[in-house]
A = this chain, B = another copy of it.
Amino acid sequence: MNDINPSFLQSQAMPDVQSAHDERALPIEQVGIRGLRHPLTIRTRSGILPAVGNFEMDVALPAHVKGTHMSRFIALLQKQEEAIDSASVVSMVREMLPLLNAKEGRIQFTYTHFVKKAAPVSGVESLMDYEVTWTAKAKQGVQDAQDAIDVELNLRAVVPVMSLCPCSKEISEYGAHNQRSHITMSVSLDPRTKMTVEDLVAAAESQASSELWGLLKRPDEKWVTEHAYDNPKFVEDLVRDVAGQLQQDQRVLSLEVEAENFESIHNHSAFARISLTK
């Protein structure tokens, strides 16, 4: 924070309202900033790719302190220079606690993660996009050292897939209604574990009626159409099959899986949710 020292000195002469004593006896669980966009580079299976993160950063505030110093969140984020991934978020949240004089804190950011995929028949490559959120929560232990800070790490991904209705297939002479669905997985991870976004995405795509691609040629479209017809799934099947898959993954401490079908025969969605703690 050397670069902001001059203004810090200037600031000293001004009243520091935020540091005043507070009499209301109410601690605040989270106080911070939200909706801060920041350019990022992301380490992906397809190389280092550009992204824009939407950040939420907050700390716990004890009952006797009037306010936090919001500008320090921004300063912390602005000085990040390297490709941001789960490891750098964990380091950042550890650094955040002493900087904000806080015992607990959280950094969360959402961005678009791209994965290069080959179409199922033609092999043509194209990028698919997924909304990904990393959350790191830090808590200061009894000692005041940075290594006494416990960090919980959570990864969330929204995976668009195709779902084809088993009931529609069963009762119809021909055809079956199908639609785009979102499978949203949120998993707690040991911060030292290696779980990539691509690993998590695969758990959802492997269980859908069909996964999606950015670019399909006609032979691919034929394959996707027939593959989905051969794998009909209710929204209930989607959450059960994805949750069952993640349940067996040693790296996952707890999980929440939700599926939402943007029904092609209605103007509302069907959805289902399972959460499991091991």
Contact = CB atoms under 8 A, between A and B. Distances in A.
Interface of A: 3-4, 6-8, 10-11, 14-18, 22, 24, 26-41, 49-52, 56, 58, 61, 66-68, 70-71, 74-75, 78, 111-112, 114, 119, 121-129, 160, 162, 164-168, 170-180, 210, 212-222, 224-226, 228-229, 234-237, 239-241, 243-244, 260, 262-275
A164 B175 CA distance: 10
Contacts of A179: 178-180, 264
Identical copies in the complex: 4
A207 to B, nearest CB: 11
Taking chain A's interface residues, is the majority helix, strand, or loop, or is none over half, making it mixed? mixed
A82 to B, nearest CB: 13
19 contacts: A7-B217, A14-B222, A18-B167, A24-B240, A28-B274, A37-B114, A37-B129, A37-B268, A66-B236, A71-B215, A74-B126, A78-B126, A165-B221, A168-B221, A168-B222, A175-B226, A175-B229, A177-B228, A264-B264
Given A234-B66, A267-B129, A122 B28 contact: no
Contacts of A164: 175
Contact of A212 (B111, B172, B266): B266
A213 B174 contact: no
Given A78-B215, A175-B228, 20 more contacts: A7-B121, A7-B124, A7-B220, A10-B121, A17-B167, A24-B240, A31-B270, A31-B272, A32-B270, A34-B269, A38-B114, A51-B52, A52-B52, A67-B237, A70-B270, A71-B216, A175-B229, A180-B263, A180-B264, A214-B266
